[in-house]
Amino acid sequence: MISPDDYILVGKLGRTAGLNGSLTIVSLTSFPERFGSMKKFFLTREKRTPFELEVEKVTYHDSRIIVKLKGIDTEEKAKELTGYRITVSKKDRVKPPKDCYFIEDLLECLVYLKNGDLIGKMKDVIDMSSNDIYVVDRKGQDVLIPAIKQFIKNIDIENKRITVQLTDGMLPDED
């Protein structure tokens, strides 16, 4: 049975593009080129079970991605799909480059100091222009850790474990 939890969000259908039922895609992935090779889209609203539509054609025009879905042949039919989420099965995710991770995978990790002491659980990732900031929940307080090699020593997604080395004052209960 299909579960909404087996799918991840990669984009949304935007406004219509022309009169033939084409729609723009708002990419929410680091790999927007993936849309060009997709044969079908799994569409959903919120966390409902996705339904499948076949892709007829994907084109890239300037900075826009435009999709034509089979059976959606009028502007009116296309408007009904505006705002739907485009999801993919977790097993069909694009493999990230070395030392890059899916936020969803990081959020499942526990964060430990190099000496083995538990700091807490990953809560969020803040996207900054220079580097990401990992937000770790430590007994209800946020610990902010820059995602750079100086602090992040090891990320083991398989075992849901991140090892860090912090400087004095980074933990909230330190003086």
pLDDT in tens, the chain (175 residues): 567 777 888 899 999 998 999 999 999 888 888 899 999 999 998 778 889 999 999 999 888 999 999 999 999 999 999 999 999 888 877 888 888 888 888 988 999 999 999 999 999 999 888 899 999 999 999 999 999 999 999 999 999 999 999 998 898 865 4
| Distance (Å, whole) CA 165 – CA 142 | 16
Quick one: how far is CA 60 from the chain centroid? Answer: 21
What are the structural domain ranges in the chain? Answer: 4-92, 103-164
Tokens of 116: 């083995």
| Distance (Å, whole) CA 66 – CA 52 | 18
| Distance (Å, whole) CA 48 – CA 63 | 30
CATH of domain 4-92: 2.40.30.60
Contact 69, 55 (CB under 8 A): yes
| Distance (Å, whole) CA 155 – CA 172 | 23
Q: Which fold has domain 103-164?
A: SH3 type barrels. (2.30.30)
